[in-house]
Chain A
Amino acid sequence: MPEYVVSSQAYAKAILHCAKYPWAAVQGLLLGEKKEGKFRLTDAVPLSHNWTQLTPMFDVAFQQVQIYAKSKNLVVAGFYVANEDPESVQLSASSSLLAQTIVSINPEAIAFAINAKNFKTSQSSQPALVAFSFVDSQWKEQTAAFSGSAGKGSAKNAAIFTLENNQALTTARILVEERAEVGIFDFDEHLENVSLDWLQNSALNERIRTA
């Protein structure tokens, strides 16, 4: 059973990317490494908030993120998307195809849809993420993700998803509350101003660490 652990940094950055553009769809990539049989999703690289169904700049960004990941001994391990319609937590046709390109270089890559409506519930002990694994040539929702088990009656090899620690949810909430999303920059923004740090968002990483 494959197990994926989402780090505080990856979760916070995906959520902040979504929070920066609440009226738009946003998407990005997840970086990670396989350690002791588990996939640790350690970072998120935000890509775009505009024309998310179009491919050219995704192609450029994906190629560049692969180069960057390699330099950090990481691999591109996943894709995240927040749909324009907050009620929708499925992977659209274009999201599925884009996420699939990651599977073609990393068969164990996963996808997340951000459930923005779930984020507001401060009592929630689960991250605002819907997880998908690529099984039988399609993206299948992992309904037991983050629930602490593989779920009753789920497929024998259903993936397990957990957060790195309990702090991850609180950190994300604190950052959204303080409007930290002004400090996250995606590839779209980088293309308008190349001095923006879309690959690392180092300043934000520091803020996440100290939150």
Chain B
Amino acid sequence: MSSSLALLAEIRQSSERRPFEVLKLAEPLLNKGTISQAGDDVWLVYEQVFLAAIDEGQIELAKAILITLQKRFSGSQRVKRLYGLVNEAAGHPGESKKLYDEIIEKDETNVLASKRIVAMLKAQGRYAQAIKELVSYLDVYANDFEGWLELAHLYLGQHMYAQAAFCIEEVILLQPANHYYHLCYAEINYTMGRLDIALKEYLRVVELSTDNVRGFYGVKLTADRILDLVKNRPKKDQLHFSLDNVPQQGTLERLSQLATERLVNAYSEANAACRTVNEQWLKE
């Protein structure tokens, strides 16, 4: 298998969004016909290139690939969804909606079509409607953590922090060992002034992901802020924050120190400018 095909397979595996690279890799394969070396995977490659073409605004290329796929898989609901996508990209949302509705009518468990409908509403700026649809979807598919993540994202876009936090809680229930979601939860809570929860969650991040720089920045920021509020500020300033279950002052100071040490250690890999600024920041 050619190295281009191997790379394309890697990108499919990681599901990263790298449309420009995908098109660059695929162009010679398509032109020279060597794409057929992919064997049975060739249809996955076609689909991958289709999606990249849509992302890069290359509608004509996308349409050409679609014709190839349609010839091989006529009547396929999977290909039908791709027709929906190309219509969205070409600015015909009405057409897309019709296609997605047809897919769902034929099979109400087709989650990809349901998600496309939410995505379309979002693209049209109809956020309240998108949220409503996604909430209905999650009523049925409560285990779809990606759905909960997207809902959190939609809520954050509307600055509905408490609702976003709830969604991330659902994600954490489904994926408790993934530090990324604890990080998101910590940052939402920090933004809401819930410093006690933020600190706890940032500590969970560095527990799950050794020497996580963002995590330790969060630990230092939060511990120092709590210390400042508790030691230096009048009671009335503290009222804006949730400080119910914060550790003792001694513990907070040790946590801040630990974070400082780990950050200094991590920054030995940074360039001089960043390292100097970090050192200065740690002192302030």
Contacts and interface: CB of A to CB of B under 8 A. Distances in A.
A56 B274 contact: no
A53 B157 contact: yes
B156 A51 contact: yes
Contacts of B221: 56, 59-60
B interface residue count range (under 10 / 10 to 19 / 20 to 34 / 35 or more): 20 to 34
Interface string A177-195: 0010000000000111011
A152 to B, nearest CB: 31
Contacts of B157: 53, 84
Interface residues of A, number: 31
B266 A63 contact: no
Interface stretch (A9-17, A73-81, A196-204): A196-204
B184 interface: yes
Contacts of A134: none
Contacts of A55: 187, 190-191
A63 B161 CA distance: 24
B199 to A, nearest CB: 11
Nearest to B270: A194
A51 B266 CA distance: 23
Contact of A23 (B17, B217, B277): B17
B222 interface: yes
Contacts of A56: 186-187, 190-191, 198, 217-218, 221-222
Contacts of A191: 213-214, 217
Contacts of A93: 159
B115 to A, nearest CB: 15
A190 B186 CA distance: 19
Q: Interface of chain B, helix or strand or loop or mixed?
A: helix
A51 B187 contact: yes
B191 A194 contact: no
Contact of A53 (B191, B267, B270, B280): B191
B273 A68 contact: yes
A131 B181 CA distance: 35
Interface string A77-92: 0000000110110001
Contacts of A194: 213, 266-267, 269-270, 274
B274 A190 contact: yes
A197 B266 CA distance: 15
Given A53-B159, A93-B159, A191-B217, A197 B274 contact: yes
A36 B239 CA distance: 45
Given A23-B17, A51-B184, A68 B269 contact: no
Residue of B125, B198, B271, B284 contacting most chain A CB atoms (<10 Å): B271
Nearest to B284: A63
B157 to A, nearest CB: 7
Given A56-B198, A191-B213, A67 B281 contact: yes
Nearest to A97: B159
A147 interface: no
Nearest to A65: B277
Contacts of B214: 57, 191-192
A54 B269 contact: no
Contacts of B191: 53-56
Given A23-B17, A191-B213, A64 B187 contact: no
A87 B125 contact: yes
Interface in B75-101: none
A91 to B, nearest CB: 13
B166 interface: no
A68 B274 CA distance: 9
A195 B186 CA distance: 25
Nearest to B225: A59
A94 interface: yes
B114 interface: no
Contacts of A192: 213-214
- Can you list the 7 inter-chain pairs with the closest CB atoms, starting with the nearest? A191-B214, A194-B270, A54-B187, A56-B190, A55-B191, A54-B191, A53-B156
Interface of B: 17, 20, 125, 156-157, 159, 161, 184, 186-188, 190-191, 198, 213-214, 217-218, 221-222, 266-267, 269-271, 273-274, 276-278, 280-281, 284
13 contacts: A51-B156, A53-B156, A53-B157, A60-B217, A60-B281, A63-B281, A67-B281, A67-B284, A191-B213, A194-B266, A197-B271, A198-B274, A199-B277
Given A56-B218, A67-B280, 15 more contacts: A54-B188, A54-B190, A56-B217, A56-B221, A56-B222, A59-B221, A64-B277, A67-B277, A68-B277, A71-B276, A93-B159, A191-B214, A191-B217, A194-B266, A197-B273
